[in-house]
Amino acid sequence: MKKIKIEVWSDIVCPFCYIGKRRLEAALKNFPQQHNVEIEWKSFQLDPDLQSQPGKGIYAYLAERYGRDLEWSKKMHENVTKMAAEVGLEYRFDDVKIANSFDAHRFEHLAKKYGKGNEAVELLFNAYFTEGKDIAAKDTLIDLGNKLGIDAAEVKKMVEGSDFGNAVRQNSIEGQHLGLQGVPFFVFNRKFGISGAQPEAEFAKILTECLEAED
């Protein structure tokens, strides 16, 4: 049987991307051909021009971005926190550090070079949403690289230079050509697509359709 390749466009700072990751993983656990599935994470920045804003919390930032009040933002984040908890994730929005995700995505591509792209994505999501780390900080990325067995000097060189910047930008262009309008965006064998953190059952349905398409 041919492999099923799942390409996932996401942004590290997108809460629904992490939730979608968990729902996809849950569907794969019950998928009989899970050993034939390959997942490749692709970069897509929701706000490429975002500047780090020390001292400003995520509630105020999002309220300002969408022209809403602080209570709306807090309520929205409470709902997302509950949604995350349903798939076993602990979101700590009070601790989130507002940061541009470009360097985090470059780090993801560096890890991909060593076959550890999926592991890097998991560490980045956890660092941002649960540990309250600044994912744009060199020290954070060096620490995550250490956890993946990537030499600190190589991570430092990447952060201070421009390595993998074109790869990040190319991922975004590629996704747009496929019709991406937001993230997460899941593409199965370049035949089927799912937009958003869909329920586990929807991922299971698409996986089955991939099998049937091979017949």
155-184 average pLDDT score:
95
Say how far apart CA 136 and CA 159 lie, in whole Å. Answer: 9
pLDDT digits (tens, 9 = 90+) for 82-140: 999 999 999 999 999 999 999 999 999 999 999 999 999 999 999 999 999 999 999 99
Which residues are 193's β-sheet partners? 187
Going 153 to 159 to 163 to 167, the CA torsion angle's sign is: positive
208's CB contacts (< 8 A; 6+ apart) are: none
2-15 average pLDDT score:
95
User: In the prediction, which pLDDT does 74 show?
Assistant: 96
User: In the prediction, which pLDDT does 152 show?
Assistant: 97
Question: What's the pTM value of the predicted model, to 2 decimals?
Answer: 0.95
Residue 58 CA: distances (Å) to CA of 94, 122, 144, 205: 7, 21, 23, 35
Residue 2: strand, helix, or coil: coil
User: In the prediction, which pLDDT does 1 show?
Assistant: 61
The domain made up of 4-214 has a fold known as Glutaredoxin (3.40.30)
Enter the tokens of residue 181: 């309008």
Q: How confident is the model at residue 55 (pLDDT cuts 50, 70, 90)?
A: confident
pLDDT of 215 over the 90 cut? no
pLDDT of 53 over the 90 cut? no
User: In the prediction, which pLDDT does 179 show?
Assistant: 86
Enter the tokens of residue 39: 């997942």
pLDDT digits (tens, 9 = 90+) for 35-51: 999 999 999 999 999 98
Q: How confident is the model at residue 56 (pLDDT cuts 50, 70, 90)?
A: confident
User: In the prediction, which pLDDT does 51 show?
Assistant: 87
Q: Residues 63, 73: contact at Cβ < 8 Å?
A: yes
